[in-house]
Structures are given as structure tokens and as C-alpha cells.
Amino acid sequence: METSRKVKQEKKKVLLMGKSGAGKSSMRSIIFSNHVARDVRRLGATIDVDKKRVKFLGNLLLDIWDCGGQDAFTESYLTSQKSYVFSDVGMLIYVFDVESSDFSTHGTHGSSDRDLQTYASITSALGEYSPRARIFTLVHKMDLVATEYREAVLDSRSIAILTRSGIFKSTIGIYATSIWDETLYKAWGGIVNSLIPNLDIVEDGLRDLQRVTEGEEIVLFEQNTFLTVTRVGSDIGNENPNNDRYERLSNIIKTFKNSLSVYADSNSSHQFDSFVIKTRVFNLIINRLTYNTYVLIVFPPGEAELQCARLNTMAAKDEFARIESVAEGVDDGLKMGRGKSNYG
């Protein structure tokens, strides 16, 4: 069944803010510009506002405003540029440097509390101009904290952040991150996941694919960033004890994909279409599902099972392309077909 409506592009203004040197531009470059961690040291400080437009999952357009964190710029955001910066914001991502000497979880006045005072002023301005925005805070550079202390440090930082979050206190998301491990992908995956419309429809389609492939686990990735969009799993897949496996997969696959750029056309946005691992205990395939997504499927071993999964994944492409093309809700075709496989 053909889609009766074209894609309506949805734009989201995303503010990326925090103290100068907190690591905002570095993480943005790793996630959206395919930099690797060792290369971002060369990046200079952001001057004023660096705007980048990122297309995510076809119809979702992120206008990312990377705001320089020097005191003079922050002052201008809160005074002369206040309306310009904080109006029509869909999301604020605020980055705290875990080693900052200006972040105190005890004092309420003075320079030792300056990071939290600045954050409170920014959330207040956001509440004035964009009260329906979402806030995510990242306690960054956690690799500099000894492993045994990280949980306690995050807990104390979280309490302090929540007390300064104003009207956003009940909806804020807080993550511990580092550019050197999978925590960065976990945080940004959760952030972007919150922006995706009709996620339940996508998951229904994945469950259909899981059924016909006998998949133990299916993970959907965005094709450029390789952030996890969503996943579904069987009872066996859900017993996997590695809770950080999706973020680790994002990191590994994106690194692999970037390594292929040596052999691919520099203008190519898709550097591989399929990847297969065959073992005696499981099969794994990663296939491009739509123009904007890849799908990873883990399923029982065997050549027949592998070929069946490949065929069903190919058959599913049109259905998922149709799901992506839905604009503002569910069209009639999807309402009629929901919960039924159109390719099995």
C-alpha cells in the first residue's frame, strides 16, 4: 500500500551549553561529525554560537546551537540575546565538567558554586521562553574519576543539579559521560530517542520482523550516527546480562564504518550495506533497512536461518520506509496494518 502523504520535516532547536572547556564541541563532533576521541583535542574553543543542522531519521531536523561557554558569552545569552537564544527551544543539553573547581555540592554562594548558579540562570531563562522544552544534563569527563567513586560522584552531582533545575526538575535527564567509552552513546541515544515521533509504530514493525526471523534481539540504528533508535527482544534476548551492549555496539560499528572510508568514495553516505557474523551458537546480521537506518538481528545458527533472515529483512524495507514517511501521526494504511506483518 502506498503512503498517501509526503514527509513533513520536523525541526527541533537544541541548545548545547556549559562552561568553556567542559567538552561540548568534542562530544558533538564525535556523535555527529564522525570524529574519533583522540582527534577532538585539536578543536578550539567555540566562539559565541556555532550552529549545525543535522538530519536525523529523514524527517527530524536538529538545529544544534553549540553555545560558547566563556563568561562574556554566557552573560550575553542571559541579557542582550536572551529572547533570541531561549525562544522556541525543543531541548537543552547542559554539560558539566566533573572536575570543575566551580561546582560545589555544599556551598550555595561564592565562586565555588558558580557552575550551578549559571545553570540555574539558564534554566530560568529557558522556563521563561520555552517552558515545554526538555533538559538533559551530562556530567562529563567521568573517566577522570576513579571507577569505585563514579556512582557516588554522579549521585551527589545529580542532587545538586536537580535543586537548581526549577520547573524542569521532574522531567530532567542526567547522564554520566566520557568521550573514551560507550557512556557518550548511551546519553545521546537516550536524548535523541526522546525526539523520535511514532516510536511505537516502529517497534511494532520490529516485532513483526523479530517473529519471522525468530530473532532473539533486534536493534535499530540511525545510519549516520549509529545511535540506537530502539530495540525489541525475545525472552532469551532479554536475559542478556550486558546492559550496556547497545552503546558498545554503537561505538564498535561506527568505528568500523568510519574505518571503511579509506576504501569508499568520500562522498558516499552509506559505506556498507550488509555485515554478517556466523557462529555455531548464533547468527548476526547488520543490514541497511531504510535510507536512514540500519538493523541488527541476532538469531539462531544455520545457513537456512541466515538466508531466511536476509530475505525477510529485504522484504521489510518497503514497510519501514513507509513508516518513516508518515507525517504527523498514523495514516490510514498503518492503522489498518498495525500488529500485522506485511512481509512475513
Q: Given this model, what pLDDT does residue 192 score?
A: 81
Task: Please give the Cα distance from 295 to 234 (Å, whole number).
Answer: 16
At position 1, the amino acid (one-letter code) is: M
Task: Return the pLDDT at 25.
Answer: 83
pLDDT at 314: 92
Q: What gap in Å lies between CA 252 and CA 221, rounded to an integer?
A: 12
Listed in sequence order, the residues at least 6 apart from 148 whose beta carbon sits closer than 8 Å to its beta carbon are: none
Where the chain has pLDDT below 70, the residues are 1-9, 34-48, 57-58, 105-112, 262-271, 325-344
In the chain, how long is the greatest CA-to-CA distance?
68
Query: Given CA atoms 98, 172, 12, 253 in this order, what sign does their dihedral have?
Result: positive
CB atoms within 10 A of CB 257: 20
Nearest to 223 by CA among 286, 277, 180, 267: 286
- Residue 327, pLDDT score: 39
C-alpha cell at 239: 536475559
Interatomic CA distance for residues 104 and 98, integer angstroms: 10
**Which residues fall within 8 angstroms of residue 194, CB to CB, at 6 or more apart?**
91, 134, 173
Q: In what order do the strands lie in the sheet with 274-278?
A: 228-233, 217-222, 293-299, 283-290, 274-278
Q: How far apart are the first and last CA of the chain?
A: 15
Model pLDDT, residue 224: 81
